[in-house]
Structure 1
Amino acid sequence: MTTVPRSTGTDEIADAIAAFEASLPFALDPFQREAIEKLERTRGVLVAAPTSSGKTLVAEYPMWRSLLAPEHLRRRHARVIYTSPLKALSNQKYHDLAERYGDANVGLVTGEHTVNDGAPLVVMTTEILRNVLYDEPARLDAVSDVVLDEIHYIDDHPRGTVWEEIIIETPAHVRLIGLSATISNVDEVAAWMRGLRGDIATVVRTERPVPLEMWLSISNHLEPLFDAGGRVARRTLDMAANESMHEAPFRYMRRAPDNDLFHVIDELRLRSMLPAIYFIFSRRGCAEALSRCAVHGLDLTDRAEKEAIDARYGEIVQRIEDADERRVFRQAIDPVMLRHGVAMHHAGMLPSAKEAVERLFIEGLVKVVFATETLSLGLNMPARACVVSSFTKFDGTGFHSLTAGELTQLMGRAGRRGIDAVGHGVILKESDVDVRDIYEAAIGGEMSVDSKFAPTYTMVLSLLRTRSVERAEELLDKSFGQYQNVQRADHWTEKRHNLEEQLVDRRGRVFRHPRVACTERTLATHLSVAAAVEELQVSVRRVKREHWRDSRRGRHGGRGADPGQRFEAMRRELRQQQQRLHNSPCRSCPYFGEHRAHRAETRDIEETLEGGEAELEWARHRYRREFGALRRVLHDAGFLENDAPNELGLLAASLFGENALLIADAIVAGHLGPLSPPELAAALVTLVAEDRGRERAQPSRRHFPTPRVELAYRRLRGSLQRLAALEREQGLQTLRPLSLDYINAAHQWASGAPLAEIETPAANDIGDVVKAMKNLYSMLRQMEQALREHPLHARVRQAREAMERDLIRRV
């Protein structure tokens, strides 16, 4: 192994940092200087700081020493790898670094692109680096530093597992530079890394580079959340609480929203808070907001800005080489609203349309962009203000209030460094949101990261290719997830003793109503009735809402009908339970609140003691159990022989995708052999795409582009069902269903159909189609590499070539 030489002398480090600072147009911040000094003296550094603080400058220091430092300070032949969990961020970083260090010195490797991968500085997605570590670890022999940008994604599933694999598997001679948002347990992450790799330093900056002022919009007026001393603004708190109280009886009636879009934007304009990102947690909501602005003629730009927008728009259109994509681009952006300084941005848009909005916003020409939360992840797109239109969002199963971490992420773009003296965060108050929840999130600030580590089939195959079962299990024990489990177990003995003492004290306390007999049973009955009342109120509201909708559609005989008197029966039951609640002695007890809290806390302690020991025992051996279960499925499915991957297993390991087992099985079984390139694309897209809106009704009969595609789909589904049955025997459920939405789109795309004519599935947008095709293209590239000597290789290459269009090839 080549060990990259390092400087350890204090004078040389000081000289290098001074020369690096001299190459910059500004002075280093103290935390940047501290991080660089610690990097030079340790095995790596973990930097946690708010968005736009300048963390990436720490990562650029080893790049500068490798490429641009004076001769006596330059580290020749020391390569640097820069990783990001997001392809969009990787592409953006590639362009930024190529501009600074020159195209010849910078490479890019993602699922779709391989550009100059032998360069001294290479940008990679985390998945690519993980694959390199398993397949070609010698490629890191000359690497001095690996940058792990957005390392707080260790809290994300499934990206977090990839981060942990990288940190565990990266050779010891490589320094790791972790860049993270501010997290409360940065020392815990660093301690885990230190146990694996030696001395890892930490540098934490909690102050934002641009201070943030938080506002609550109440009935279209902005009120400060906090006073000048950083304390809760009592006037705002009282106004919000009073508004909620007054609105409560009318909360479920159809009425105007609490804050009107145009009044809020007007407030932002009058207070010089533009440009602003206006977060709306749905694509449809973003489109409707833009349409409303068009109908009402909202115009936020002057004549000079309109001319600048026209010029930029023309340049962007001309740079799109594909005339077909150019036509779709023009349809994707409303040019009139763009000239007026208003646009939208979400994951379903055409990538070039999103990039155009980003560029015009960064230049200050777009004043308001309606965006989903994806805009808050990674991209460098700062604003003077960030507006959160709703404090609740749908998580796939139900609505929940924003957490402190989510709110911090959304507000991270507020305040442009070097331009704004202060950034602004605006939350629109809704009548059905408790203002105390808003304050809790606003005060909470930092988030804590928890491991989302989970062994996968390809991980098991990759590990067993070079290791015994025992050594593979030892690697699992090195995960951050296992580290956190061990830490919890170490703290449990002391915690259990404290909880047992608390429980004895609590059980000895007795609450006595001053006028009536009061027991624990009285309180239990009261709480049970209160819960029943709350549940019935929700049901009555739901039935009333459904009845109102049905009457509009002419069902059930008009507005007055109540089939089976269901609604009336529920209302009678609700009145009876409310009367029981009214008669309860607990209502007039001065100790009720304290007694209820005491009971809840006592029950929490009892449940913690009952389940704590078993939960810790389960967690202590969780990963070894999951690894064993995955191993047994692989044995039963024919991918392992004597705990080593056979030919089928090696093929699956080389594909790395989530459905690699199904692809490898289909290849070996010959299911893909009869397919033409477009048919191959249509069949494979079912394995790499993910459908949106699975809750909607599915057609009873699915139309496939050809009978051979339908046969291939049915065979893939049969393989999936067999694997799922093996998983159930082992208590696993990791396989996701095949995608159906993009089959026709993939066939049309690979057949050369114009972009505007490609079928966009219901509940999807053109950007979703492009994402699915990029995922398919990435898989075809992996298959092409893995099948070099296989008869299917030529067909896979033809399918990959058929998928290539400028918007796929373009970085």
Structure 2
Amino acid sequence: MSETPVGTQELAVFADEVSFDLDPFQETACAALEEGHSVLVCAPTGAGKTIVGEFAVHMALAQGGKCFYTTPIKALSNQKFADLTARYGRDKVGLLTGDQSINPDAPVVVMTTEVLRNMLYAGSDALDGLSYVVMDEVHYLADRFRGAVWEEVILHLPPEVKLVSLSATVSNAEEFGAWMETVRGDTAVVVDETRPIPLSQHVLVGKRLFDLFDAKSSDQKVLVDEDLVRHIKQREASDRMHGYGGGPRGRGGRTSFRPISRPEVLARLDDEGLLPAITFIFSRAGCDGALAQCVRSRLDLSREGEAEQIDAIIEKHTGDLPKADLEVLGYWEWREALHRGFASHHAGMLPAFRHTVEELFVKGLVRAVFATETLALGINMPARTVVMERLVKFNGESHAELTPGEYTQLTGRAGRRGIDVEGHAVVLWQPEVDTSAVAGLASTRTYPLRSSFRPGYNMSINLIDRLGTTEARELLERSFAQFQADRSVVGLVRGIERNEGALRKLESQLGGVEGSFLEYMNLRERLKTREREIQQQGRADRRGAAVKSLIGLRRGDVVAIPVGRRAGLAVVLEPDQTPGDPRPLVLTEDHWAGRVSAADFPAPAEALGHMALPRRVDHRTARVRRDLASALKGTGISRPRRRREDRARGGEDRELSTLRRSVRSHPAHARPDREQLARVGERYLRLQRETESMRQKVAATTNSLARTFDRIVGLLEERGFVADGEVTPAGRRLARIYAEADLVVAEALRAGVWKGLGPAELAAVISTLVYESRQETGYLSVHGPTEPIRRAIGQTVDIWTQLRADESRHKLPPTKEPDLGFVNGVYKWARGDELADSLLASGDGGTPLSAGDFVRWNRQVIDMLDQIHNTADDPEVASTAGKAVRAIRRGVVAVDAA
């Protein structure tokens, strides 16, 4: 071995302990760490970034210090705990994930990032002697739901702690490193863009597999394979010759393109030696549908002599499941698929099933998996091949094309280190697939990291408690979010300067800033503005009339929804007198039940008649909706004809008339070159507006997080959580509640609205603050299986409603609306009902939850109940929360809780 550089003796010891040679980027990062720097390592998936984290563990143990190894998800924490325990022994390694606490006083503790954040806010003694923190998957700070946790930890860690940040390849690594340098001190940035296993890109057209790139492609010029282009052109020409029009649906409604089936795709990959493969399908139902298609086929990817090994792993993960629940869970069909070598993998699966699939796939006993993109986020499941069925996915709001960063992350699973010479990415061709666009997607390495850090109630109260208001504002100004915002200001300022130069040139063409033509243009602009104002005022007046009419509706009133998808007769099930935004619950003659708003009524809502309703209407039940809709049609009430709205004539407005006269009488109005100059004037005014907008953005961006913090402090002071810059006892309770609806929980505890509930009832009420429906189910409707539940939910909703009004007044983003979709399911489960009954009672709009979602939401409820158990001042509520936790943690919810 060559002589070890001065200051890297421990690296030499560590390198001798591992069973392979370190890559150059690993050596560079480890050497920087031993020399006393914090390090940021950005490298592709599977490149071996975690070796640098493991070296931090080695350094901590060698120096007699402590190392915390943080990961974003419990599954990764469990995996890393097993790895480190195997290397260093059980006495040296601990685990903290919220669910589990194993050897928490060990010198090396693996934990989720949230656990470390909570330790920092609590000033935990466990931080004493901490010398290194590893933040695996630090690019999670871009996650809009959980990303703030990573920045909170980075900002709060004591300055003497060395930070090892491990990230996927991001295109702005240097920017992120520059911020780390400002907040953590000396930080070495190590970027490696080399995939450890080369990646070959392919397109499967029918049953023919083509290379995506031409052999003559280079870094400067990306060329699509000529054979692929020629074959697609021939195929499209053939379609046109047969009268299909070359599109996905031709004349006569005949389909011109049928993709080959999933079993055929897998059989083709098997023929090419490209298994094991992960096929990414961007929906859970799509994954399960693909699996069902394979089960119905004759496809069998298993090999002789594997059945016993498969059964042993299935038993290891699922042996504790109650036998009575196996049928409900679809166990036997799932097991048959595993025996034939294929499976699905998504968050809707039971954790025990999901972890079985992961182990079988890694061991080569399952050779094809249909997965959602969640598999690409850190789970250690590499494959020889990744298949992309479509290059479009639903992003939560709309269907959008994959970004180069998403494509890179998904295909990063292709290629198993130490097994495959190269990995393979296969895109399935369809008529809408543009191979040039695919080539651009596959050859672009753009994955910018954007901060999602925003102050919230819990974060703000903890900052005030630890630092005081002034220092808290300063810390927010040091966040990566503000760092990026301030950098964007530089570009805006340059844009303002550029625009000001262009404005001066246009002014000279118009006769100068004091010239009469600019005066004329300003008059024309004021005229346009006034016309827009009148139109907007008309819309506002119509909305005001609609709001007033909705507030006046009573239970049983029959109204006509005049426009939109829900147009037709509807009966009011629950009135709503919320000022400014009433949303009564209605049932339409088409069986739809949900909340309507002023937006559904361009003309005021008018009660056309009345119908009697039962005392209690369970509008979530299909039979109830059907019967009520039938009764509504039987009332004989008919829809009135739509009246044309009288449009306000512009001439009736005095200011508008004056402006029109001023424009016509201005000397510039008679100029022969008026319209030619007007086009120059319009460019001038447009550029002037753009420049003013940029100035406003500069003003808004500067100290934007601190201003949001000030608004939060104002609301917290009004509500008594902060007084004279100090955190009150109520504020200290809020500081220990980590949830999206943290302030609602704190206020409900303070008001005592959950007192007197039984364990199952408390679980049901708490579920409204953590559960999120996967589909739109209409607005909130207070219901529940018992009167105490309905009362407590009603009071909880009142607290949320008052908070929403305060947030609107303080210009703060609204707290998540309570969601009642899990109330019945968790209530039944917590009181001891069977799994089948509890599943049927759960879910969105009558669709039962999957077993995996059922378990996941139960565990979310457990987490919130645990917090209430530890924070509630009322001993009765605290005790009930503890009992509720024990009642829920049984059966499928307790098995394989990784």
Q: Normalization by structure 2: what TM-score?
A: 0.74
Match of 1:662 in 2: 744
1:751 to 2:841 alignment:
no
Deviations 1:638-659 (A, max 9, x none): 3222233222221111112221
Instruction: Please tell me whether the aligned partners of residues 46 and 180 of structure 1 are also in contact (alpha carbons under 8 angstroms).
Output: yes
Match of 1:712 in 2: 792
SS at match of 1:420: coil
Larger radius of gyration: 2
1:775-790 to structure 2, matched below 5 A, reads 775-787=860-872, 790=875
Instruction: Please tell me whether the aligned partners of residues 117 and 149 of structure 2 are also in contact (alpha carbons under 8 angstroms).
Output: yes
Identify which of 224, 247, 252 aligns with 1:250: 247
Over 3 Å counting, the alpha-carbon distance change for 1:697 and 1:105 in structure 2 is same
Over 3 Å counting, the alpha-carbon distance change for 1:470 and 1:744 in structure 2 is same
Match of 1:48 in 2: 42
CA distance in 2, matches of 1:753, 1:92: 33
CA distance in 1, matches of 2:206, 2:689: 43
CA distance in 2, matches of 1:399, 1:604: 33
CA distance in 2, matches of 1:86, 1:254: 47
1:759-770 to structure 2, matched below 5 A, reads 759=839, 760-761=842-843, 762=847, 764-770=849-855
1:793 to 2:878 alignment:
yes
Instruction: Please tell me whether the aligned partners of residues 734 and 742 of structure 2 are also in contact (alpha carbons under 8 angstroms).
Output: yes
The amino acid that maps onto 1:170 is L
Deviations 1:262-314 (A, max 9, x none): 33222211111100001111111111111111222211122223443234334
Q: Which moved more, 1:393-402 or 1:58-67?
A: 58-67
CA distance in 2, matches of 1:442, 1:701: 47
Instruction: Please tell me whether the aligned partners of residues 37 and 162 of structure 2 are also in contact (alpha carbons under 8 angstroms).
Output: yes
Q: Which moved more, 1:27-36 or 1:429-438?
A: 429-438
The amino acid that maps onto 1:112 is D
Match of 1:179 in 2: 166
The amino acid that maps onto 1:90 is S
CA distance in 1, matches of 2:802, 2:236: 54
Over 3 Å counting, the alpha-carbon distance change for 1:13 and 1:755 in structure 2 is farther
Match of 1:294 in 2: 295
Match of 1:6 in 2: none
Over 3 Å counting, the alpha-carbon distance change for 1:62 and 1:398 in structure 2 is closer
Match of 1:112 in 2: 99
Instruction: Please tell me whether the aligned partners of residues 456 and 630 of structure 1 are also in contact (alpha carbons under 8 angstroms).
Output: yes
Over 3 Å counting, the alpha-carbon distance change for 1:606 and 1:137 in structure 2 is farther
Match of 1:535 in 2: none
Unaligned runs of 5+ residues in structure 1 are 1-8, 68-73, 509-541, 544-549, 551-600
Match of 2:199 in 1: 212
Shift of residue 92, structure 1, vs aligned partner: 2.2
The amino acid that maps onto 1:59 is G
SS at match of 1:687: coil
CA distance in 2, matches of 1:47, 1:240: 42
Over 3 Å counting, the alpha-carbon distance change for 1:312 and 1:112 in structure 2 is closer
Over 3 Å counting, the alpha-carbon distance change for 1:248 and 1:384 in structure 2 is farther
Instruction: Please tell me whether the aligned partners of residues 496 and 695 of structure 2 are also in contact (alpha carbons under 8 angstroms).
Output: no
CA distance in 2, matches of 1:493, 1:464: 33
Match of 2:771 in 1: 689
Match of 1:557 in 2: none
Match of 2:583 in 1: none
RMSD: 3.0
Instruction: Please tell me whether the aligned partners of residues 66 and 131 of structure 2 are also in contact (alpha carbons under 8 angstroms).
Output: yes
Q: Which moved more, 1:104-113 or 1:619-628?
A: 104-113
The amino acid that maps onto 1:267 is R
Identify which of 670, 684, 695 aligns with 1:613: 695
Match of 1:35 in 2: 29
Instruction: Please tell me whether the aligned partners of residues 324 and 756 of structure 1 are also in contact (alpha carbons under 8 angstroms).
Output: no
The amino acid that maps onto 1:717 is V
CA distance in 1, matches of 2:505, 2:360: 63
Instruction: Please tell me whether the aligned partners of residues 194 and 200 of structure 1 are also in contact (alpha carbons under 8 angstroms).
Output: yes
CA distance in 2, matches of 1:688, 1:391: 32
1:376 to 2:358 alignment:
no
SS at match of 2:405: helix
Of all paired residues, the percent bearing the same amino acid is: 36
Shift of residue 227, structure 1, vs aligned partner: 2.7
Match of 1:63 in 2: 57
Q: Normalization by structure 1: what TM-score?
A: 0.81
Over 3 Å counting, the alpha-carbon distance change for 1:487 and 1:792 in structure 2 is same
Deviations 1:207-244 (A, max 9, x none): 10000011122234222111335442242345557767
Instruction: Please tell me whether the aligned partners of residues 244 and 434 of structure 1 are also in contact (alpha carbons under 8 angstroms).
Output: no
CA distance in 1, matches of 2:871, 2:136: 29
Give runs of ≥4 in structure 1 deviating > 4 Å. Answer: 9-12, 237-249, 321-330, 495-508, 601-610, 700-703
SS at match of 2:769: helix
Instruction: Please tell me whether the aligned partners of residues 71 and 136 of structure 2 are also in contact (alpha carbons under 8 angstroms).
Output: yes
Over 3 Å counting, the alpha-carbon distance change for 1:632 and 1:701 in structure 2 is closer
Instruction: Please tell me whether the aligned partners of residues 73 and 112 of structure 2 are also in contact (alpha carbons under 8 angstroms).
Output: yes
Q: Which moved more, 1:463-472 or 1:475-484?
A: 463-472
CA distance in 2, matches of 1:664, 1:365: 49
SS at match of 2:784: coil
Shift of residue 19, structure 1, vs aligned partner: 1.3
Bigger relative contact order, structure 1 or 2 (CA pairs below 8 A, ≥6 apart):
1
CA distance in 1, matches of 2:442, 2:14: 37
Match of 2:447 in 1: 447
The amino acid that maps onto 1:417 is R
Shift of residue 461, structure 1, vs aligned partner: 0.9
Shift of residue 10, structure 1, vs aligned partner: 7.7
Shift of residue 336, structure 1, vs aligned partner: 1.9
Shift of residue 128, structure 1, vs aligned partner: 1.5
Match of 2:223 in 1: 232
CA distance in 2, matches of 1:503, 1:300: 69
Match of 2:672 in 1: none
Deviations 1:538-594 (A, max 9, x none): xxxx99xxxxxx9xxxxxxxxxxxxxxxxxxxxxxxxxxxxxxxxxxxxxxxxxxxx
CA distance in 1, matches of 2:348, 2:686: 43
SS at match of 1:365: coil
Aligned length: 704
Deviations 1:678-710 (A, max 9, x none): 1111111111222211x2467x97752211111
CA distance in 2, matches of 1:447, 1:144: 31
Over 3 Å counting, the alpha-carbon distance change for 1:239 and 1:602 in structure 2 is farther
Match of 1:596 in 2: none
Instruction: Please tell me whether the aligned partners of residues 318 and 353 of structure 2 are also in contact (alpha carbons under 8 angstroms).
Output: no
SS at match of 2:738: coil
Shift of residue 96, structure 1, vs aligned partner: 2.4
Shift of residue 758, structure 1, vs aligned partner: 1.8
Q: Which moved more, 1:417-426 or 1:727-736?
A: 727-736
Instruction: Please tell me whether the aligned partners of residues 376 and 410 of structure 2 are also in contact (alpha carbons under 8 angstroms).
Output: yes
1:91-240 to structure 2, matched below 5 A, reads 91-230=78-217, 231-235=222-226, 236-237=228-229, 239-240=231-232
Unaligned runs of 5+ residues in structure 2 are 509-563, 566-589, 591-682
Over 3 Å counting, the alpha-carbon distance change for 1:793 and 1:81 in structure 2 is same
Instruction: Please tell me whether the aligned partners of residues 677 and 795 of structure 1 are also in contact (alpha carbons under 8 angstroms).
Output: yes
SS at match of 1:792: helix
The amino acid that maps onto 1:709 is I
CA distance in 1, matches of 2:372, 2:32: 38
Q: Which moved more, 1:705-714 or 1:424-433?
A: 424-433
SS at match of 1:632: helix
Shift of residue 608, structure 1, vs aligned partner: 6.2
SS at match of 1:177: strand
CA distance in 1, matches of 2:128, 2:819: 40
Higher helix share: 1
Q: Which moved more, 1:303-312 or 1:419-428?
A: 303-312
Q: Which moved more, 1:230-239 or 1:734-743?
A: 230-239
1:509-548 to structure 2, matched below 5 A, reads none
Shift of residue 711, structure 1, vs aligned partner: 0.9
CA distance in 1, matches of 2:888, 2:76: 23
CA distance in 1, matches of 2:70, 2:710: 31
Deviations 1:504-526 (A, max 9, x none): 99999xxxxxxxxxxxxxxxxxx
